[in-house]
Every structure is written in structure tokens, then in C-alpha cells.
Structure 1
């Protein structure tokens, strides 16, 4: 039986989703994967970092979080006010970094990941900030310390995109990627195709929890842009900056444009794309609304679903469709990465 001591920093929706899966799938992990995972530490911004060498009780943690009570009420723990201090003092085998995405300087996730890698911990992350802004640096640091850095959840939550391209499609030469990488904008555009108004649908999406109170990151294309930066490095080995991506959101799309597209047997979708131009060694990166013909599989992906089409030499087109957000769905991406690390130990 393999044994992994796990630390989760960022015990919000995603961190709790992973913790819940560790409980509900404990028997499966033991039976099918020969793996025992002990959650030794957890941290959030409000309550700091808690640690128990023999392991924390996950149901107790989830109950405390649901009741908005301090995690420090867990019995028998050591406590640090700052997560980074606690992580450096206690370590572990794997860090699951699940703090919120910050596309300005990627903190505090960047510091957490750097510290974990530097002290020989593997890292799995759902945080788009460090992955989008500093993937090259972080992968080099992981290699330097002979550990793994995995980030499946950063692109389409638990839907296997990165592992499909990097492992399932190993040996292919990818020439382009096109995707619907944001569920909020896809929900809005799908609803507008039935004749509804943008503002009405946005308000509904916010009420349903599909959109934030400030929806800028989604509707202006910044969330999809971050995912394009991640894919640019992991698939094409190119470190792009946000300014290298041509970005246009959906806020200027009118009902008339949507109706006209439908009359022409087309659908408007916010498409994030990367196209390699080997003749001049460039990588074209865009996030823009595009009218797609109904023959394009991406045109038929509706609601909050995500999808990505990978163009390559040997497989031509491969399209992966699945959820791109959600507590359990994103937790599943972290769990898959954890199992991939355990498999190599």
C-alpha cells in the first residue's frame, strides 16, 4: 500500500471538493490503486494553516467549513497564522494548491507552489494564476528538485484535456487548438440563441451561481485567456504574456447578431484558440466570439459545458467535451493528478 501525506492550501469550493472525494472514494483508492491518502494539513486565508501529523478528520473539516466555523476548532492541531509558514514548517508529500486565481501577480498561490517544490513536494493545482503567468519557471523548479507539477484542473476542471494531449496523444504534432473554455459565456450565448437578452441572461447566471457578482473575468474573456496561456506552454512550449493574446469578450454581442447567425445556420461562441505557424515560428493566440457553422462540433456545445478541439497530424481532429467548473468536477481533476503522481512513486 502506497501512502501519501497531502496538504491542501485553499479550502474553498475546490479544496473542499477534493477533500470530499478523498472520503467518498477512500475504499476505491485503497482497492483499485493501493493508495492511502492522509490529509495532514489544510489552510485558508481566514483561519490560517492547521496541521496534525496523524491526519485530519475530513468530515469534521467539511462540517466546520459548511458552518463557517474556524478550522482551528479541529481537535489536536498545530496552527500557523500564515499558510506559507505552516507549509514550510510541516511539508508533506504533495501540495494541492487551490487558492483563488489572481492574474496580476499569481499570489499567494505562486509562493505556495514555489515553497512546496523547493522543499521536495509534488504539486497539483487548480489555480490558473501561477500556471498562466509562470509555468516555465515552475516546471523548471520542479525538474530541479526531481518532483512533479501537474495542473489538469486549470483548463477544464476534471475533464481530461491536458492529460489527453500530453499523454493520450503523445507522439502527435499538434498544429492548433480551439475551445469553448468558459462556461459562463457559453451559458449566456446559448440562452441568447433562444431570443433572450444579454442582461437578462447574465442576471440569471449570477442568480444560479454560474457567474460572479463581478462577471468581468468571464464575459470579457480573461478567464479563457488564462487557459490559453497555460495551453500555449504545455502544448506548444511557448511562454506567452497576456498582451500576446488578442482578446475580445461577449459584452458587445447583440441579440440581432445572434439571430442573424442562426438564420445563416451558424452559432456564435466565444472561442479561445492557438494556431502554430511554423513557417515564421509564431503562435497565434486569440479569445474572440466567432460564428461557427453547425458542422463544427463546438457549435453544438451549449449551456455551461466546455469543449476543446485539438488539430494534429496523425489524429486530424479530436474533440473533448465536458464540464469546465464545479466543486466535485474540479476536485476530480486534482484527484486524477494525485493518482498520476502516486502511480510513479
Structure 2
């Protein structure tokens, strides 16, 4: 039975949820998936870092109420985080990157991915930044070192839009897509349709944990912009950067706009889209769009996400699912590890005795 040693970089909601799954599901995965996961290192800016070649108990990591620098209490631990040393030196097969990242330059996640791939370690990440900004470079680095760079969760959390489109829609000639790719903005628009003004709807989203204290990235479309870049480059063969995508958010929509659309059997949605043009180029955009209620995306409400692929042979194919959530996003990491396991050459990972 195969065991993958993993290093967790960042121990916030997503990687903590993955540790929870390891604590409760590892035996099931061993039976059903043919592999288990063994956490050999964790590095977190708040908690510090810890390396244990024999493995760390996932349940202890999850249940211990560590204070700042708390990893320093553990054998092999330090109160200070040293992401570079952990990534480069920990005896890990896979680095799971889930840190807070600047959307403009993708850092520090881009550097984390580079260090891991250059060290001959697979990388799985849910971070949008390094995928939108440096995917081509990182995939080339992975190939040069005989490892994989996987990022299914970077667009719709655990809902498998990238792999699904690449594999199950292969040959259908995908020539564009449009999607609701941000649950916060979709929730806000729903509350405005119910009668709230924009500011009150945002405050409710914040109270429920859907929106950050600064909701700009969500409501002004910046989050969706990165996801459009990822999908366009991955599925349409584009080479877009975030600056190539026109971007407009929902903050200028008034209650009157919302109600006027409702009276006309329509609904406003923040839509991220890309299309392959007649000359082969690809154009991307993010903007509020007034959709007829018959449109497949019009009925997608709350924090749910959806993307509708435009295909030559099948017409529109729409995928709907969760676009956020700790466990859902941790599942995306697991799905990436499943892909790595399925693609490995025989004998490349030592089987447990």
C-alpha cells in the first residue's frame, strides 16, 4: 500500500480541514484509493514549523489548541515558521500549499511552489495567485523535475471544473465559458433582489462569514478575474494575464437596477467569461450581466458557484457546485493527490511495509 509523505504549508482553514480528513478518512482512502497520507511537516506563519520524518499525528495537530508559536512545543518544532527550509528539506513527496497570497504577484505562494518543484516534490494548491500568474512557468518546472503541479481547487473549490472539462469534455470543442465564480458577490446580489441595499447586503455577507472585512476582491470582481485567467489559459489555450481581462464589479448596481430586472423576468449576476475569437485569440471579461430567468446560470443562488462551458458538439454544459468551504476545498486537494497517484510511473513511490 502506497503512503505519500506530505508537507503542509499554511495551517489555516483549508490545510487544517485536510488534516481532519486524514485523521478520520485515511483508512478508508487506503482501501478505496490505494494510498494513505502521512503528514511529515507543517509550517505556518502564526504557529511556527515542525518536521517529523516518521510523521505527525493528524488528530493532535487538529485538536491541540496551539497558541502563537505553538509548534515550538512539539518535538522537531520551532516557534518560528521557516517555509523555505521546510519545503526544500522536509522528507515529503507532496507539498500542499495553502497560504494567504497577494493576488497581484502570487507571492508567497509562487515562491513556495518553485522551491517545492525544484526540489523534486509534487505540489497541490488551492491558491489562485500562482496559477493565474505563473502556471506556465510552474508546469514547465514540474515537468523538468519529473513531478506534478495540480490546482483543481483554484477555481471552484471542490467542484471539479478543470479536470472535468479537460477529461470528460475532451473532443467536444470547448470554445468559451461563462460562470458565477464568486459566492460572496452572488450572495450579495441575492440579498439585494430580496430588498437590501448594497451596503446592507455586504454587511450580512460579512456577518455570515462569506465576505472578508475588506470585501473589495469579491464585490469588485478581482477574485473572478483570476479564475477567468486560469480557466481561459487551461481550457482555451490562452496566455492571458489578469491585466488582459476587463473587470467590473457589482458595487455600482442600485436597488432600482435589481428590481427593474426582476420585473422583466431577469436577474443580475456577476459573470466571468472568456471566448475564443474567430482569429484564434481569446478575450476574457468580468462584469455584471442581466440574465433572462431561462438562462442556465440565472437560478444559481446564494454562495453556490457554476460555470457553463460553450461547446461546439454539445452546446452549453453547465456544472454547479460549492465554490467555497473548508472541507470542500480540502477535497480539491485530495482530488489533486488522486490525480498524482493515478499518473505515477510504477515504483516511483515507496510502498509501506
TM-score, normalised via structure 1 length: 0.96
Alpha-carbon separation, structure 1, partners of 2:168 and 2:24: 27
2:43·2:81 contact (CA, 8 Å) conserved in 1? no
Alpha-carbon separation, structure 2, partners of 1:86 and 1:12: 17
Compare 94-103 and 42-51 and name the one that shifted more: 42-51
- Is 1:54 the counterpart of 2:54? The answer is yes
1:190·1:303 contact (CA, 8 Å) conserved in 2? yes
- The residue aligned with 1:106 is 106
User: Which aligned pairs between 1:7-18 and structure 2 lie closer than 5 A?
Assistant: 7-18=7-18
Alpha-carbon separation, structure 1, partners of 2:310 and 2:127: 26
Q: CA deviation at 1:47?
A: 3.1
User: Which aligned pairs between 1:1-345 and structure 2 lie closer than 5 A?
Assistant: 1-64=1-64, 66-73=65-72, 75-79=74-78, 81-277=81-277, 279-345=278-344
Alpha-carbon separation, structure 1, partners of 2:12 and 2:290: 36
Alpha-carbon separation, structure 2, partners of 1:38 and 1:74: 20
User: SS at the partner of 1:25?
Assistant: helix
Q: CA deviation at 1:76?
A: 2.2
1:91·1:119 contact (CA, 8 Å) conserved in 2? no
Q: CA deviation at 1:344?
A: 2.2
Q: CA deviation at 1:74?
A: 5.3
- The residue aligned with 2:348 is none
Residues 224-282 of structure 1 show CA distances to partners (whole Å, capped at 9, x for unaligned) of 001111112111122212221110000000000000001110000000000111x2222
Residues 14-64 of structure 1 show CA distances to partners (whole Å, capped at 9, x for unaligned) of 111111111221121011112121110111112332110110111111123
Q: CA deviation at 1:71?
A: 4.0
User: SS at the partner of 2:123?
Assistant: strand
Q: CA RMSD in A?
A: 1.4
Compare 210-219 and 67-76 and name the one that shifted more: 67-76
Q: CA deviation at 1:69?
A: 5.0
Alpha-carbon separation, structure 2, partners of 1:207 and 1:57: 34
Structure 1 unaligned spans of 5+: none
Q: CA deviation at 1:300?
A: 0.3
1:48·1:83 contact (CA, 8 Å) conserved in 2? no
2:40·2:90 contact (CA, 8 Å) conserved in 1? no
User: SS at the partner of 1:155?
Assistant: helix
